[in-house]
Amino acid sequence: MSHPRAEHIGSLKRPDVLLQKRSDYQLSKCTSAELRACEDACIAEIVRLQLDLGFEVITDGEDIFYAGFYDKLGGLKVVPDPPKYMFQERLKRNSPLYGVDFDFLKQVVGCENTGKIKITMGAPEWYQFRHGKYTYERTAYSSDADYFADVASIYREEIRDLYSRGCRMLQIDDPVLSCFCDPEWRKRMAQAGVDPEQLFQLYLDVYNDCLRDKPRDMTIGLHICRGNVKPDGSRFTRGPYDHIARKLFTTLDFDCYYLEYDDGDSGGFAPIRYLPPNKRVVLGLVSTKTPVLEDPEELRGRISQAAEVIAHGEIPRTKAEALNQLSLSPQCGFASHSRGFTFITHEDMVKKLKLVRAVAHTVWREG
């Protein structure tokens, strides 16, 4: 089975014209229609860039990983000092969440490239992990199970709708699951009276509930995000994937996993030995935290190392078969926040994307 060999995670550098237009909108210097027109033009430009670079997976550049889902649901709105009665609504999907964006991308890329579009979505446990029982306390929900039943139902509805529009690739961005790799975060959970293993299992069950009606010919991937959110471009979680790897790869109904491997914080490749033959891993080996370009030969060597680990893993296979389960990407997006990081320019981003594409070509087209 053929897979895209070069991908990017999602968020791309916002051009200055877009940042200025968003600032103007916040200051009431332009209308929402004018802002949308600017956003559409910038999306079209970034899509053309990806097509020109020869990428087999195209996104709209993403706003922020959790945007576009919860903020569009009925029963959830931001209100300062809300009265108690407003906590009594259950979450509802009153309209498509990403459908309009997907339809716009179809127009931009053309019918011949519709199959290349990848939509990125936020994680279903995002708010519950941040707020615990306060996510739904005093609301229409009585428990985690009650709350997540509605969340999972909404995900299934959205996946069905996107599929009906022609979407065949979906990525869920999850910065929560990486916390279970981090000893400090696990310690915080324990101090809060939360069993990390029980919570991790709850989230895995939620995901499988979200995916239980997944169409067979729709590829859905999970990005275990460690977050380029600090001013120096560093991440907010550390630690190898060992704590989560076996269950992550063997019990979740995802087709692929986007793993960040650009520095030593994520550990080595040993955890991917659990990867089943019917799934794949996208190796995030190219850092978006520095403009320095990685050595292509070193990248090829690391891809080869990862293939060796899979080949000699729990279910042995040939190295060629293992290599066919791998792809290459940047480690995370180029702009976790709207302005991104000032030390990564648009030109730096393009060079990094070209590097990913070139290395992927030599590994899987020539090797």
Average pLDDT, the chain: 88
- pLDDT of res. 137: 60
The pLDDT tens digits for 90-103 are 888 999 999 999 99
Judge whether residue 342 has pLDDT over 80.
no
pLDDT category at 80 given cuts 50, 70, 90 is low
Q: Which CATH class is domain 16-366?
A: alpha beta
Residue type, 255: D
Task: Using a pLDDT cut of 70, give the percent of the chain over it.
Answer: 85
Whole-prediction pTM: 0.89
Judge whether residue 366 has pLDDT over 70.
no
What is the sign, positive or negative, of the torsion defined by CA atoms of 151, 247, 360, 228? positive
Judge whether residue 339 has pLDDT over 60.
no
pLDDT category at 233 given cuts 50, 70, 90 is low
CB neighbour list of residue 260: distance below 8 Å, 6 or more residues apart: 224, 225, 226, 235, 266, 284, 331, 332
Region label for 146, one of left (φ > 0), alpha (ψ between -120 and 50) or beta (otherwise): alpha
- pLDDT of res. 187: 94
Q: What distance in Å separates the CA atoms of residue 10 and residue 329, rounded to the nearest whole number? A: 10
Q: What distance in Å separates the CA atoms of residue 367 and residue 364, rounded to the nearest whole number? A: 5
- pLDDT of res. 367: 45
Comparing 230-234, 247-251, 290-294, 356-360, which segment has the lowest mean pLDDT? 230-234
Tokens of 126: 């995002």
Judge whether residue 142 has pLDDT over 80.
yes
Q: What distance in Å separates the CA atoms of residue 322 and residue 301, rounded to the nearest whole number? A: 14
Residues 63-69: what's their mean pLDDT? 59
Judge whether residue 1 has pLDDT over 50.
no
- pLDDT of res. 68: 58
Q: How far apart are the first and last CA of the chain?
A: 17
Q: Are 270 and 312 in contact (CB under 8 A)?
A: no
Q: What distance in Å separates the CA atoms of residue 181 and residue 307, rounded to the nearest whole number? A: 22
Q: Are 9 and 333 in contact (CB under 8 A)?
A: yes
Residue boundaries of the structural domains of the chain: 16-366
Judge whether residue 135 has pLDDT over 60.
no
- pLDDT of res. 77: 63
Task: Using a pLDDT cut of 90, give the percent of the chain over it.
Answer: 65
CB neighbour list of residue 159: distance below 8 Å, 6 or more residues apart: 170, 210, 211, 213, 214, 215, 218, 220
Comparing 91-95, 135-139, 173-177, 206-210, which segment has the lowest mean pLDDT? 135-139
Comparing 245-254, 334-343, 345-354, which segment has the lowest mean pLDDT? 334-343
Higher pLDDT, 126 or 360: 360
Q: What is the DSSP string of 192-244?
A: TT--HHHHHHHHHHHHHHHHTT--TT-EEEEEE-----STTS--S--S-GGGT
